[in-house]
A = this chain, B = another copy of it.
Amino acid sequence: MDGLTVAAAQRCVIEAMKQLGAESVPLQQALGRVLAEDVQANRDQPPYDVSAMDGFAIRSADVANVPTVLEVIEDIKAGDMPTKVVGAGQCARIMTGAPVPQGADAVIRVEDTQALSDGRVRIDVSVKTRNDIRDRGENMRTGEVVLQAGTTITPGVVGMLAMVKAAQVSVYRQPRVAILSTGDELEGLSDPFDANKIPDANSYALMAQVQALGIAPVLLGIARDEPTHLKEMLQRGLQFDVLLVSGGTSVGVHDYVRPTLEALGVQMKFWRVQMKPGHPMAFGVAPLTWVFGIPGNPVSSMVCFEEFIGPALRCIMGHHKHFRTTVTAKLSRDVKHKHIRTEFVRVMLRKEAGALVATPTGDQGSGILRSMAMAEGLMVVPAESKGIAAGEQVTVQLLDGTAFQSEAGGEC
């Protein structure tokens, strides 16, 4: 069997990647990017001791014996600064998030009090010092590193960045990605209908896979099987950080991609991977560009993206997690495996008595894109497997579209 194993090819690709330096983006565009610098707090948060409840700021000594009646000297809501000091026998009405006034050392929640007709308040419970007070700096202290370089910016991280008023955020630069399809048999999306041609699905499936990672790729179109035109198109592609070339990488006499890439100075690292689908998967390095040669079959193309190109792009973007999350599932029916290559079987997933069940999406032919459109995961059949029987546990890589489910989870 020629070509690298999948694991060796993945190592080869990831080792060749690096980040592309930092850029500053507005917080509104930072979701999904990766912090290129540590982020420090610019203030204590909360900026003062605040009430955790709606209630009354009191002196705990005053409520050692209850019930007791206190004078209400002030009304403090969030955003107000207290103007008075709470003395013995006094309290201040206080709202959640409002600053605790001087003199007070605890808060009693409104449910444990009774407003009296003379404007005073009856306190019905005793509490310890600091009861229902959130400490100044409890969330973050001025100068503290609250987010480290390398953090992926999730919605919670966006909230933290807003909390330290990071209107601009330093993140790793996105790679500029170009996609080129090759082959005289292909018809472009805006080309007139020709019954004898095959629509170029790969450019768009690859486009969407790149978009799903938060990157807007450039589609270069279709290179014809003509050496001069192909060379010109590949030269355009080599202006980008990453070039994806779909088709033309197998051994046919009309496949000009390999010699043309090499003539343009691309140093090829591998041309074959021991996998199915996706055997003719290639990877090379040019002075400015990482080049991926992708099989022309649409399913092979999408699987190769999942195994090599997605992880590479995530590595360039600065993410620490490069690979699809995997789950263990029970296989619903026998899967044959006669090859000595790792096989990626498109499966649908369902829950049965709390456990995941994986079912192959029908015909697994590498031309049958529907199997990929229906798929929720890629089941990994190890190269040495002699086939997997129904009921056995398998490893499944989760694809896009699996972040949500039909039913609410847990006993809500």
Binding site for B on A (CB under 8 A): 5-7, 10, 27-28, 31, 42-43, 45-48, 52, 54, 75, 77-81, 95-99, 134, 138-140, 146-147, 152-165, 167, 183-187, 189-190, 193, 195-205, 207-209, 211-212, 225, 250-254, 296, 298, 302, 307, 311, 314, 319-328, 342, 354, 365, 367-370, 372-375, 380, 382-383, 395-412
Contact = CB atoms under 8 A, between A and B. Distances in A.
Contacts of A27: 189, 204
Contact of A380 (B147, B302, B396, B410): B410
Contacts of A251: 54
Contacts of A6: 408, 412
**Taking each of A99, A397, A405, A410, which has the highest tally of chain B beta carbons within 10 Å of its own beta carbon?**
A410
Contacts of A159: 201-202, 204-205, 208, 298, 302, 369, 372-373
Nearest to A374: B156
B208 A31 contact: yes
Contacts of A409: 323-326, 380, 395-397
A296 to B, nearest CB: 7
B296 A404 contact: no
Copies of this chain present in the complex amount to: 2
A67 to B, nearest CB: 22
7 contacts: A77-B184, A98-B185, A162-B200, A324-B404, A380-B409, A395-B409, A395-B410
Contacts of A140: 370
Nearest to A212: B155
Nearest to A375: B156
Nearest to A80: B184
B54 A365 contact: no
A10 B158 CA distance: 26
Nearest to A384: B411
Nearest to A224: B79
Contact of A155 (B154, B199, B302, B404): B302
Nearest to A295: B96
Given A225-B79, A404-B321, A409-B323, A372 B156 contact: yes
A97 to B, nearest CB: 6
A356 to B, nearest CB: 9
Contacts of A146: 370
